Each structure stands twice: as C-alpha cells, then as structure tokens.
C-alpha cells in the first residue's frame, strides 16, 4: 500500500493522469450498481470484500477494458480490494483500495473493513442529518404559512 510519505503527491499525480485519460474529473466518476450487475458487485452488495487483479471486473460495463487497464497502469496497482461501506447491515457504498503488492493480507482486509464500517456509518449519519434538516425546513415553512393565514 502507499506509505504516508508517498501519499498526497502521488494521489494528486494519479488523479491528474486519470482525468486526462477519462476526460472527466475523478470526483464526477460514478459507477451505479445493483444486484445482478456483476459477480464483483453482487459480492460487494452482500457485504463481502472483493479482491481482484483486474479493475475491469469492477468498472464494466461503464468503463471499457482498455480504459480500466490504463487507469490500473497509471496508478501502478497490482491488486484491488473493493470494500463495502456498510451501516446497519446495509451497503451504502464501496471504496476501492489498490496496492502494488500481489496480495492483500487478512490483517489489511480487517483494517480496511473496520475503516469502511466507520465510513458507512458516517455516510448514513450525513444522510439522516440532511433529512432532519429538510424536515425542519418544511415544518418551519408550514408554521410560517399557518401564522400568515391566521393574520
């Protein structure tokens, strides 16, 4: 895996290279998935880690095999772990972690899973907070409308 000293500059370089290849910002890249989409995503959606040496298994069909190969080469990644982000027994997303190593150890998988579980709960908390804010705004608007009607 990337060491802390390699981290940010390498990530920024890879991000710029990927944006040049894909012709879109990496922050705009979305791969929507559902059950039956692929074996890789069925595994992830069942809350299991999926490990591969071929990024195309995770990007198909939205991302072509050649694009996935270019991305994997730019990143210098040999092995990819797709780790589900879970909260309350449901999958709310996934994170992909790549390494130059040929394999990912059980200890690394356990650490990634623990991180992903925390991230999944944080994502759900943000969603819940936004729903609460929206409900509060609607309540406030309704209250204001009722007060104006009585006047």
Q: Would you call 97 helix, strand, or coil by DSSP?
A: strand
Supply the pLDDT for residue 40: 87
- pLDDT value at residue 1: 39
- What is the DSSP code (8-state) at residue 77? -
Q: Which residues contact 63 (CB under 8 A, 6 or more apart)?
A: 31, 55, 56, 71
- Residue 128 token pair: 């819940």
pLDDT of residue 134: 95
71's CB contacts (< 8 A; 6+ apart) are 18, 21, 22, 55, 59, 63
Domains of the chain, start order? 7-150 (3.30.450)
Q: What per-residue confidence (pLDDT) applies to 8?
A: 46
Buried b (16+ CB within 10 A) or exposed e, 16-26: eebeeeeeeee
The reported pLDDT for the residue numbered 79 is 95
Per-residue pLDDT of the chain (151 residues; tens, 9 = 90+): 333 344 445 556 667 777 777 776 766 666 667 788 788 888 988 999 999 999 989 887 777 898 889 888 888 899 999 999 999 888 988 888 899 999 999 999 999 999 999 999 999 999 999 999 999 999 999 999 898 888 7
Rounded to the nearest angstrom, the gap between the alpha carbon of residue 48 and the centroid of all alpha carbons in its chain is 14
Q: How many CA atoms lie within 13 A of 119 on its CB side?
A: 15
Alpha helix stretches (DSSP H) within 5-105: 7-22, 39-45, 56-59, 65-75
Res 64: pLDDT: 84
Question: What is the structure's pLDDT at 7?
Answer: 42
């Amino acid at each position: 895996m990337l060491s802390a000293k390699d981290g940010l500059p390498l990530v920024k370089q890879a991000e710029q290279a990927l944006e040049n290849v894909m012709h879109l910002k990496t922050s705009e890249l979305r791969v929507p998935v559902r059950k039956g989409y692929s074996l890789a995503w069925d595994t992830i959606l069942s809350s299991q880690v999926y490990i591969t040496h071929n990024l195309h298994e995770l990007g198909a069909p939205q991302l072509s095999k050649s694009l996935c190969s270019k991305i994997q080469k730019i990143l210098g990644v040999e092995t990819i772990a797709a780790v589900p982000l879970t909260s309350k027994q449901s999958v709310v997303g996934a994170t992909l972690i790549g390494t130059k190593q040929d394999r990912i150890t059980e200890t690394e998988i356990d650490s990634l899973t623990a991180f992903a579980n925390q991230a999944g709960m944080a994502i759900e908390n943000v969603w819940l907070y936004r729903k609460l804010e929206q409900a509060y705004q609607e309540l406030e608007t309704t209250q204001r409308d009722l007060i104006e009607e009585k006047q």
